[in-house]
A and B are shown apart, each in its own frame.
Chain A
Amino acid sequence: MINMEAFLKSDGKVNRPMDGVRNIMPYALAPDSFDGTVPYTIPAAGGGALLLKYSGINNFQTIWGTPFELKRFIFATPNGGTPTADVSVRLRMMAGRDFMNAPVHIRTLYGLTNAVGHLPSFIREPLFLFTSEYIMAEFENLSGGSSKIFPYMLGVQYYPITGKNATPGDLRIVDKIKKWRNRSRSTYPFWLTTPAPIVHAAVVGDTQQSQIKIADTPYEASSIACVATNTDFELEIKEVVSGQTLMNGRITQTNGLGDSALPTVLPFSYMLPKGAILRITTTQLAASTNTIYLTFQGRKINAPMADFKVDLSKSDSDIYTDADYEQYLEKETIGATA
């Protein structure tokens, strides 16, 4: 949501726009090859992926270029239909940074439009896309025939002005960009999902486990989104290294999971240190097959988290080494690992 007060400065009597404010503009970023009228076609399942490139605005008029701040996603399908296809998405910065541990379902990432409303998804950490940088998006149909989409990124476009023409407002913009550029080196949005979709047989009580290991960068989960072919299941989420659980018992899907447009926001962010292992246990409540795509929305924070290491330690403070991790798994007698 906009905070417009930031754009109005008050001298105690009147409110007036901050100078330089017209150098900050809302912006919608579509993939480079989009002509606006023909949607993209994602090949049928097994037919390969659709690879799209979102480029930062190529403007070298100023030393800072014209950065784009990505804040939301939205997509639609042609003819106004509710997007229902099972499509996976993987986002990568071409500097080699991944924004997800595995491809996520499009409806746990890209917001939603349908006859009822217009609901872009928000991301936990804005992402600055500087001039000449670009993000690759890989869309792949998980089942069925080909599908068509209009995918957009929504955010803010900055036109930083420096030099003798710069106003105090312009310099504030430059200062903000500098700070975010530094911040983005260690903190960036990230989507955490199960290594593969969770698949249930058509048996009431069928139980499956899936695990997500946090690798070498701590993770902050702020919300949860889910797409399931059958919503009649219950789940439990547990961090097995510390033994912490997110619930005191199993909850039904409708009580704990949203989608990307209306995710279940965690009242307090769930911090996961490096080496943490999330175990997700799901149990089918209806006699029908089910495929569950579960995504945590949040951000990676590449910073020392010594305090969390202490908090999560049981007795072995070096539990984060690979050898100890393997040993730990054996003790827990958990099935296949992520």
Chain B
Amino acid sequence: MLTLPTLLRNKQKSLLMNPAWNTVKDGIIVPPAQAIAIPAATSALNLGQASDQIIEAPSDGYCELYALIGALTSSTASVLDRILVMFRDTGIVERRLMNRPVQFNHIFGSAANPMYIRCEDGSQSLWMDPLQILLITLINSSAADTATASLAGMFTKYQLKSMEIARVKKYVNDSRARYRQITPYWWTMDQNITGQNVAGVTIAAGSTVDCYFTGPSDVELSLTSVTATAIPASAGGAGDTGEKFTAQFWDARTDRPYQNQPLTLNTGFGTPSFPHYFDVPIVVPPTYKVRSRFTNLITDRAIDLFVTFHGVANYNYEAKYLP
């Protein structure tokens, strides 16, 4: 991200506030609707869908959206883990920022701990030119109740006036060029929850299932963190109801493992506020797969498991891949 010195020295060696701060500012960006009503599903296959929400970049500057905040409410608590979200960026062509709708609770952090999609680590923020639109679709996969969502994004705004500052102009131009190559991306599994067209897997009590994550055919992914949610069929139960499941991942092409023994929910996965970061990214070339194996640790309840990787999609996939 752009770093600007607070103070500058003029020719007379006097210290002055950096004038760039007049035109480069942080702020909060929200969709027009403060509370977005998400209808309940009418059946297992007819999911409830809110009207598409629009986040529009300001007209007087470039917008770098670097963190996401969201809140869900519902009269029925179990609905909160059944809300899905899909991002579509209309900036260049309509790019989807995820392979399938993923869990709302895997994307939006809290006001105190937002989900940072770009930190100082070089991952990718959502870049928006003036008046560019981000489309957000909210889906309810539960027939139990409706839900209400509130969304916000934290962004840095580079006002058009700031283009007079060479350092800012270069950063904006570089960022716009980079965004044509690299966008943020969320990646979930190929399988469906039993009986629904929702990305996830239903694991019978005490059972083990194998799942695949398949890379899109036109981008290669660099994945930096992972989040998971496991929802038991009902409260209580025997076995480990806290850790709920174990997970193993392999690179499907080479069969190299990402762990020597299975990881549990709390040691291998995180939340949007505190994701489980990888020490190096997982690189997934186009159409490559990650194989996974999940075991339900609850011995008398099935679980619905949702797993979302977060990283960047790279639209230049001409590099050599070895092995």
Could you tell me which A residues sit within 8 Å of B by CB distance? Answer: 1-8, 13-32, 34-37, 57, 69, 71-72, 74-81, 113-114, 116-120, 150, 152, 154-157, 159, 161, 165, 167, 169-170
A32 proximity list for chain B (CB < 8 A): 260
A118 contacts B122, C-beta separation under 8 Å = no
Residue among A20, A31, A152, A161 having the largest count of chain B Cβ atoms under 10 Å: A152
Is B216 an interface position by the 8 A CB rule? no
Residue among A4, A18, A74, A170 having the largest count of chain B Cβ atoms under 10 Å: A4
B240 contacts A78, C-beta separation under 8 Å = yes
Q: Can you give 23 contacting A-B residue pairs, CB < 8 Å?
A: A2-B281, A4-B121, A4-B312, A6-B122, A7-B222, A15-B182, A16-B318, A17-B283, A19-B321, A22-B254, A22-B283, A26-B258, A28-B258, A28-B259, A32-B260, A36-B263, A78-B242, A80-B265, A114-B266, A118-B266, A156-B279, A156-B280, A159-B256
Given that A1-B121, A26-B279 are contacting pairs, would A79 and B240 also be in contact in the complex, using a CB cutoff of 8 Å?
yes
Given that A19-B320, A22-B251 are contacting pairs, would A118 and B276 also be in contact in the complex, using a CB cutoff of 8 Å?
yes
Identify B279's interface contact among A2, A20, A169, CB under 8 A: A2
Is B235 an interface position by the 8 A CB rule? no
Could you tell me which B residues sit within 8 Å of A by CB distance? Answer: 113, 119-123, 177-178, 181-182, 220, 222, 224, 240-244, 246, 248, 251, 254, 256-271, 273-283, 285, 295, 297, 312, 314, 316-323
Distance in angstroms between the alpha carbons of A113 and B268 in the assembled complex: 10
Distance in angstroms between the alpha carbons of A88 and B163 in the assembled complex: 57
B254 proximity list for chain A (CB < 8 A): 22
B277 contacts A2, C-beta separation under 8 Å = yes
Distance in angstroms between the alpha carbons of A29 and B318 in the assembled complex: 33
Q: Which residue of A lies closest to B223 (CB)?
A: A26
B278 proximity list for chain A (CB < 8 A): 2, 26
Identify A28's interface contact among B268, B277, B314, CB under 8 A: B268
A118 contacts B323, C-beta separation under 8 Å = no
Kindly list the 7 A-B residue pairs having the minimum CB-CB distance in the complex, ordered from nearest.
Answer: A80-B242, A36-B262, A117-B274, A79-B242, A118-B270, A26-B278, A30-B261
Q: What is the CB-to-nearest-CB distance from B286 to chain A, in angstroms, rounded to a whole number?
A: 12
A26 contacts B282, C-beta separation under 8 Å = yes
A169 proximity list for chain B (CB < 8 A): 322
Q: What is the CB-to-nearest-CB distance from A24 to chain B, in angstroms, rounded to a whole number?
A: 5
Identify B264's interface contact among A1, A2, A76, CB under 8 A: A76
B260 contacts A22, C-beta separation under 8 Å = no
B270 contacts A7, C-beta separation under 8 Å = no
Q: What is the CB-to-nearest-CB distance from B184 to chain A, in angstroms, rounded to a whole number?
A: 12
Distance in angstroms between the alpha carbons of A5 and B312 in the assembled complex: 12
A75 contacts B251, C-beta separation under 8 Å = no
B243 contacts A78, C-beta separation under 8 Å = yes
B320 contacts A2, C-beta separation under 8 Å = no
Distance in angstroms between the alpha carbons of A157 and B242 in the assembled complex: 29
B121 contacts A2, C-beta separation under 8 Å = yes
Identify B241's interface contact among A8, A72, A79, CB under 8 A: A79
A30 contacts B243, C-beta separation under 8 Å = no
Q: Which residue of A lies closest to B269 (CB)?
A: A118
Given that A1-B120, A118-B270 are contacting pairs, would A57 and B260 also be in contact in the complex, using a CB cutoff of 8 Å?
yes
Q: What is the CB-to-nearest-CB distance from B2 to chain A, in angstroms, rounded to a whole number?
A: 15
Q: What is the CB-to-nearest-CB distance from B235 to chain A, in angstroms, rounded to a whole number?
A: 13
Residue among B113, B121, B243 having the largest count of chain A Cβ atoms under 10 Å: B243
Distance in angstroms between the alpha carbons of A6 and B222 in the assembled complex: 12
A30 contacts B316, C-beta separation under 8 Å = no
A77 proximity list for chain B (CB < 8 A): 242
Q: What is the CB-to-nearest-CB distance from B248 to chain A, in angstroms, rounded to a whole number?
A: 8
Q: Which residue of B lies closest to A6 (CB)?
A: B122
B280 contacts A15, C-beta separation under 8 Å = no
B244 proximity list for chain A (CB < 8 A): 80
B243 proximity list for chain A (CB < 8 A): 76, 78-80, 150
Distance in angstroms between the alpha carbons of A189 and B317 in the assembled complex: 38
A20 proximity list for chain B (CB < 8 A): 322
A118 proximity list for chain B (CB < 8 A): 266, 269-271, 274-276
A81 contacts B242, C-beta separation under 8 Å = yes
Given that A7-B280, A7-B281, A25-B251 are contacting pairs, would A74 and B320 also be in contact in the complex, using a CB cutoff of 8 Å?
no
B178 contacts A15, C-beta separation under 8 Å = yes
B273 proximity list for chain A (CB < 8 A): 117
B261 contacts A36, C-beta separation under 8 Å = yes
Q: Which residue of B lies closest to A112 (CB)?
A: B266
Given that A1-B120, A3-B122, A26-B280 are contacting pairs, would A75 and B267 also be in contact in the complex, using a CB cutoff of 8 Å?
yes
Q: Which residue of A lies closest to B227 (CB)?
A: A118
Q: What is the CB-to-nearest-CB distance from A40 to chain B, in angstroms, rounded to a whole number?
A: 11
B241 proximity list for chain A (CB < 8 A): 79-80
Q: What is the CB-to-nearest-CB distance from A18 to chain B, in angstroms, rounded to a whole number?
A: 8
B224 contacts A30, C-beta separation under 8 Å = no
B224 proximity list for chain A (CB < 8 A): 2, 4
Given that A118-B274, A150-B243 are contacting pairs, would A4 and B264 also be in contact in the complex, using a CB cutoff of 8 Å?
no
A116 proximity list for chain B (CB < 8 A): 274
B321 contacts A72, C-beta separation under 8 Å = no
Q: What is the CB-to-nearest-CB distance from B171 to chain A, in angstroms, rounded to a whole number?
A: 15
B276 proximity list for chain A (CB < 8 A): 118, 120
B123 proximity list for chain A (CB < 8 A): 2, 4
A8 proximity list for chain B (CB < 8 A): 122, 182, 222, 314
B322 contacts A15, C-beta separation under 8 Å = no
Q: What is the CB-to-nearest-CB distance from A204 to chain B, in angstroms, rounded to a whole number?
A: 34
A71 proximity list for chain B (CB < 8 A): 279
A117 contacts B271, C-beta separation under 8 Å = yes
Given that A30-B259, A71-B279, A152-B267 are contacting pairs, would A119 and B320 also be in contact in the complex, using a CB cutoff of 8 Å?
no
B251 proximity list for chain A (CB < 8 A): 22, 25
Q: What is the CB-to-nearest-CB distance from A65 to chain B, in angstroms, rounded to a whole number?
A: 14
Q: What is the CB-to-nearest-CB distance from B200 to chain A, in angstroms, rounded to a whole number?
A: 20
